[in-house]
Structure 1
Amino acid sequence: MFNIDNILRKNIKELVPYSSARDEFKGEASIFLDANENSYGSPLNRNYNRYPDPLQWKVKNRLAEIKGVPAKNIFLGNGSDEAIDILFRAFCNPGVDNVITLPPTYGMYEVSANINDVEVRKVPLRTDYQLNMEAIAEAIDEHTRIIFICSPNNPTGNSIDRQDIETILANYNGLVVIDEAYINYSRQKTFIQELTEYSNLVILQTLSKAWGLAGLRVGMAFASEEIIEIFNKVKPPYNINEASQELALEALQNVDQINNWIKETVAEREKLIAELTQIPFVLKIYPSDANFILVKTGNPKGIYSHLVNLGIIVRDRSKVELCEGCLRITIGTPQENIELLNALKSFQESDKI
């Protein structure tokens, strides 16, 4: 049975969080003389002289409407990377505890673990990029605090089998973090609706992908109210700036536009896959539920360099475990995809392979 007290660090249990002026007064007023701000304004002639809402309630309330989950179950971070870092700082004792990652996967899990002096136990995916359930079970011990599952997975693009994830959630007594950065492009539904069923579930999402707000750095974590309270306890007081909150809230009013972009991206993904299969040096294209595809070739470095020379940048993943020979290609606009295909065909014609 999952019990959060069994994995929460002692110093976090006893931590008294910083109390900001905006935490102590949450109402409306005409004169604010409590936070040592510049009362004259800012050179931008906007309200950026005032500290932002430390808990971003307007943005969370809008997200609650879109996601179908109470605002109290939402954490907003400076990108989902902040949520990842907080998970280590709150639940993993440095030099004692460990976490499990499932390579090939998103690299920030390991980076954050190393920063926080937490052992990473890597359990590679199978060759079909699904979970090796027996190996995961063998890797778990009494100091395993978190299992990170990226679905759809980066860099492979596939969704992880839902039944396998549910098996882990039901049988593991630590936190299970499902990173759904690319869920908007997936045929698989989000795990958000399962929050009430699994108290050890944490879901990460972002406004950086489908919502097109990578430059604002707004990530989301969805979890039980108990876990969200810990996130809010550990985070910096004003971790999301006022401009990012305003612009995120504005973007969140345009759900229809985002849905249209998602449909177009998925359609372009399938068109691009069909075209790439006709190119001889493309050996395999892995199934994708994301806004990118993983493409296996006979000469990844040569192709990458050729594309760079033409001003087209893809990601060389050929040195990543289980991704040997692979390039990761983001789905662009229709015109960008045409230019990519023309560039690849010119590589073929130049007989550089």
Structure 2
Amino acid sequence: MTGLTLTIDSTRWHDHLRALADRVPGLVPVAKGNGYGFGLPRLAEETKRLGLKTLAVGTPAEAAAIREHFDGDVVILLPWEANDPHAVEQARDPRVIVTVSRLTDLEILANLGGDRPRVLIEVLTSMRRHGLEEEDLPAVATWREHLDIEGWTIHLPMRGDKDHNRVEADQLGRAALDVVDAPLWFSHLPTNDYLAMASRLGENRARLRMGTTLWLGEPSALKTTATVLDVHPIKRGERVGYWQRPAQTDGYVVVVSGGTANGIGLEAPTSAKTLKSRAVSFATGALEAAGRALSPYTILGEKRWFAEPPHMQSSLLILPSKVDPPNVGDELPVDVRNTIATFDQVLFV
């Protein structure tokens, strides 16, 4: 089978997962979106294999997708919505823990009827995304007799200041515990800071949600390759592809597997914090505007230029004539972001 392939060194990857699970008490794996390239069912099964009893997903639909693959508790990270019938149904499921970020939703959940819903109360952090303001936290105590409050969730930003998240986590954690004594659940708290806080709080009083660091934290265990589908010689000035751009030099058009359907050529915006990174972004943008963009495919140790934007399931690369072209069927290394990639096959070796 040809296509975009993720090959996993099974021993190395599983050793990494086990080491983290053993090191981090209260670890809660996160499986959301595309399942970090592995797929949601696979991550649900790996969580069960690690012996962990709680798994976090992003949405109600993702909770439904992993239900048959995981028999523990499922946390839905997206704030609960009273107008979503699936979310309402899952709030009644004894295996599901919903995240609440508005006081009005606490009241609605408390009056759903049946068993008491299990909830995590989200505290607003400097991310300014979801959650209750610190001054609103005392109102949560009103509903503690009507809801099973599984804990407080504190979703921290990702930033360069190594002390910021530790200080913010401590401040908001203390404010929350003053209202309801329940476990503190963290995201993006450095592992060493989390371990220190978990030790202070006591056994089973802290949780650390982890996605990227868990699933993608051993890059040497993961290899992505694409298949060479065709190779065509080309002369300078001959036109190429959908957009019929003229070749700038003699060489080859190399057709490779992987396109926009696989996430090739798609990229999340970068922070571009430094002057150098901004200059690189500006220069790259100018090249793309002129019809030139460096591809993530490597041939003979170098990234090669796209001939034009990727197609849906394949891409056209330009190779200069001084370079020996690959053969049809060869596998080429390709750099992808697993969080947006869709692989044609995932192989464990």
TM-score surpassing 0.5? no
TM-score tier after normalising by the smaller chain length: 0.3 to 0.5
Query: What TM-score does the superposition give when structure 1 sets the normalisation length?
Result: 0.32
Q: Name whichever structure is richer in strand by fraction.
A: 2
Q: Which has the higher contact order (CA 8 A, sep 6+)?
A: 2
